[in-house]
Every structure is written in C-alpha cells, then in structure tokens.
Amino acid sequence: MRTGKDISSSNVLDYRFWSKYPSLNVKQRGTISVTTTDDSFPSAVTQTVHHNFGYKPQFMAFTKSYTSQNIDKYIFNLADYVNLDFYMEFEDVGANITEEVRGFVTENDFTVSANLFSAVSGDQQGLIYTYDIDYILFMEEAKPI
Amino acid sequence: MSNYGLKIAEVGYDVKTCTENHLIYSSKYPQLKIQDSGSGSHTFTNNQGYFTLVTYDLGYKPFFAVWIDEGSGYKLVTYGQQVGDFYIGYIATAKTTTLELIAITTYNGGMFGDNTLPENKTVDYAWVIFYDPIKDE
C-alpha cells in the first residue's frame, strides 16, 4: 500500500502492488548499436537481439538522436535521451534532414532500424551515425489483458 | 534451497507450469518502479519551443514516457505529422535533472510553399518517470 492508504481500499492508485493487475517485470535489458550508411537513397539499417522468449514482449527503448547531437540549432541541441519510435524531419542549410529510429519485437527477436539522410532537389544522401539504443524487454506479452 | 521466489499466474493457468507470458508477477525479475507522474497543458508559440515537465535529483537519466493530446486523444511522444508545408513534431527527452517536452516546426515546402509559421498551439500532456535508469550501469 502507499503510505497512509488502507488495505481495504478499492482504488488501484492506493496500491504499490496488486496481483489483480499485471505489473511490468524487467526480463531483459541491454544496449544494441546500429550505424547508418552514407549510401545514396539509403535503406534503413537493422540490428537484432535474439531474446528467444517465444512470445512478443512489451518493450521500451531509448537513444540519442543525430538531430540533437550534431545540428547547431538551439532547439535540437536541447535533446538528450529520446524514446523509440523516433521520427523527425527538419530543414538545415537548404536540405531536409530525415531521421528515423524504430524498434519492434517478434516471438524471438528484438529488432531496431535506423535511417538518416539529407534530401536536396530530389536526391538523398545518407549520413553515417551510430545509435546506441538502450532497451528493456518486459516479461509481459504485448496482448490485451 | 536454491530455487525459491514468488510467482503469480493469470486466472486459469497453473503457476508451476505455465510459460512466463501467462504470469502476472515473478520475483525473478525486477519491476519498473514509478518515481513520479503528472499532467497539464502548455501553449507553444508558433508551435515551437520547449519546457520542463519535471525536475528530479536522481543522479541519472531515468526511463520515461510522455503523451500529448492535440485534441484527438493522447499519443505517445515522439509524435509528429505533416501540416501544410511544415512538419510538426514533439520530442520528449530525459536529461540528468529534467524531463522536457520539445515542439519542433520545420518548413519543407520548398521555394513555392507557404512558409507562414503556424499559430500558437496548446497541447495537453501527461508524463511518468521511473526510478530505473536508461543506461544500465
């Protein structure tokens, strides 16, 4: 119970743990890195962690974006850790930068993908950047309760 | 005794034999622990800028979640969409002592688009931070 609350309370918010409601149990955590390419019209680069849970777990993941680390615009320089899925477009010196970092799970894998490119006049030029992605995989399956 | 602990299974499942996706709780694993949560509303001038959702003194950058509601329901941030000739997006970011919400408006309409900045925008927000650090050290 939270301090000062009664064990007979029917308000779930009064409880720190109530077995009637599932909590998020941290089954696996770690860091996975993915590096984008300088290809023309680049495809997203993927990396995979094999969790082998046998079901699709709920998850959370965070990284530091290229946008916040490398672009000299005051608003972007404010960011530190951001959560996946991360998607951002912004104009920089006449080019439109697109940044996309996503994550998804299957029954046995956690996969992240990243793409980063600058677009000018119908051309796309990939930018090299390494994303270190910190993740948590929960014991709880991604399913209706 | 080398194998001990507490498990709680979903209704209809044998706690001794079911797979872990049918457990509600297992003391084998730590749980995310909520440190603080809150909600409110904020007006962004021309839908740009940033503000602090909460300050903390944890000594590290914590796991977090932030949602915004522009009028059609809460969406998990990062969230963004194309509006006219602008891309309008929201980023939540955890620093060492603050959780912040950033609004970004970037023009991508080229030479012939309308680069008139969007009007001020008010969004509702909700957030939660956890005791658990993002970086597992």
Q: What percent of chain B has a predicted confidence (pLDDT) above 90? A: 50
Q: Which of A22, A26, A82 sits opposite B93 (nearest CB)?
A: A82
Using the predicted structure, report yes or no on whether residue B101 has a pLDDT greater than 70. Answer: yes
Domains of chain B: 1-29 (no CATH), 32-133 (2.60.40)
- A to B CB pairs, distance under 8 Å: 119
Question: What is residue A17's predicted lDDT score, i.e. its pLDDT?
Answer: 77
Instruction: Write down the ipTM of this complex.
Output: 0.84
| Cα separation, B45 vs B43, whole angstroms | 6
Q: Is residue A5 part of a domain?
A: no
For strands B74-76 and B62-69, give the pairing. antiparallel
In this prediction the pTM is 0.87
| Cα separation, A77 vs A68, whole angstroms | 5
**Beta carbons of A20 and A143 less than 8 angstroms apart:** no
Question: What is residue A145's predicted lDDT score, i.e. its pLDDT?
Answer: 64
User: Cβ contact (<8 Å) for A88 and B80?
Assistant: yes
In angstroms, the Cα distances linking B54 to A19, A117, B69, B93 are: 30, 33, 18, 11
B92 CB neighbour count, 10 Å cutoff: 24
In angstroms, the Cα distances linking B90 to A65, B10, B27 are: 13, 37, 37
Using the predicted structure, report yes or no on whether residue A16 has a pLDDT greater than 90. Answer: no
Burial (Cβ within 10 Å: 0-12, 13-18, ≥19) of residue B13: middle
Instruction: Give me the mean pLDDT over the B33-58 stretch.
Output: 91
Q: What is the CATH number of the domain that holds A104?
A: 2.60.40
Q: Which of A23, A31, A85 sits opposite B25 (nearest CB)?
A: A23
B113 vs A111, residue with greater confidence: A111
Task: Give residues 120 to 139 of A whose Cβ lies within 8 Å of B.
Answer: 134, 136, 138-139
Note the maximum CA span of chain B: 75
Q: Which range has the worst mean pLDDT, A74-78, B13-17, B22-26, B51-55?
A: A74-78
Q: Domain range for residue A68?
A: 23-141
Chain B hits for A76, CB-CB cut-off 8 Å, are 104
Domain count, chain A: 1
Question: What is residue A122's predicted lDDT score, i.e. its pLDDT?
Answer: 82
Q: What is the rounded average pLDDT for all residues in chain A?
A: 88
Distance (Å) from the C-alpha of residue B75 to the closest C-alpha of chain A?
12
Q: Is residue A38 part of a domain?
A: yes
